[in-house]
Amino acid sequence: MRETPTDAGHATPAESTRAVRAGSIRRWLAVCMTACALGGSAVDALAAPASAPRTAAGAAQAPPRLPFYIARKANNRTVYILGTMHAAKPADYPPNQPFRPEILDALKRATLLAFELSPDDLVVSQNDVTRYGVCDTPCLPKQLPDALWKRLQWRLRDNPEALAEIQKMRPWLAALLIETYDSLAAGLQTEYGTEAQLENVYAKYPIVGLETLNDQMRAFTNLRNAEQWEMLAQDLAQTPQQNAADTRQLHALWREGDADKLAAWSAARSLRLAQTPELSNALDEKILYRRNRRFARRIADLSLPDKPIFVAVGVLHLGGPRGVLAKLRENGFSIEPG
């Protein structure tokens, strides 16, 4: 895989591989898949058409607000919750102060840091993505309706190496490849994913996961064929330029720090891109809402009296009536902006 240089004060090349933990499960696996299931030349071909100028490190005068909340419950239980992105820009984390003081203070107070996946699970995740998402021979053309396969061929017509690789993927993994393309086209960089930056600041242990790798993989391996087709069709519904523009808008909203506003934007986009509403709703339930409930239960279990914890999850998991924050309220927590 092509390495992207890092800047002083941010993630090192070794640390940058941990950035895949951020963002929604689809975005997380998109980055992991690109790193693990594709050869280096295919990734280069994938990224080549849409390289964006980089933002100089430290360009931002102050760190962005970001979606940051404090959940409290009886017996002095406190949970600090930060919404993350799997890829961002150097200017999102100024070298001298990568996060605003409230977030840095919460990290100092925390007795535990929780990501979507634990570091141990992340180590073995590459093998599982390949095991469950990649075929030994070209299987994708046989697993897609002919019209959908032709649309995918047209999308990757200028990237023959990427097209050759994607033919060996299951439909759900092929959809993630397209999402990776659009994230790169938006000018974001995976080494500036929020989790990698948090690990640079948080020097304590333990770091745990809110779910297991098997939990994450089942979200995709249990999808019905029609649901996988819907997933890919949504990624092909817009032009690459339109998808990249959506990613840039998501990034801007993330910087503003309003989880409910982000959830409303995401719901509207999902409605706009849905090819078959019933299948689109099933995807949201299996990939997003079911995991939100799991996250909230795990957070409640980890929360102990007088032992504050810090939780970092993909930003699209937080807001809205079915988000993690709402589920924590149902569990008796009060929620306030951090």
Question: Which SS3 state, helix, strand or coil, does residue 313 take?
Answer: strand
Q: pLDDT (tens digit, 9 = 90+) per residue, 201-256?
A: 998 888 999 999 999 899 999 999 999 999 999 999 999 999 999 999 999 999 99
Residue 18 has what pLDDT?
Answer: 29
Q: Supply the DSSP string of 133-173, one letter for each residue.
A: HB-SS--HHHHS-HHHHHHHHHHTTT-HHHHHHHTTB-HHH
The pLDDT, as a whole number, for residue 56 is 46
pLDDT of residue 123: 75
- What is the predicted pLDDT for the residue at 204? 84
Kindly tell me the burial class for residue 9, based on how many C-beta atoms sit within 10 Å of its own C-beta (0-12, 13-18, 19 or more): middle
pLDDT at 125: 77
The answer to whether residues 196 and 18 touch, using CB atoms and an 8 Å cutoff, is: yes
Two structure tokens written together for 257: 């720090």
> Is 0.75 surpassed by the pTM of this model?
yes
pLDDT of residue 35: 40
207-209, strands of its sheet edge to edge: 207-209, 113-115, 309-314, 77-84, 68-73, 334-337
Low-confidence ranges of the chain (pLDDT < 70): 1-60
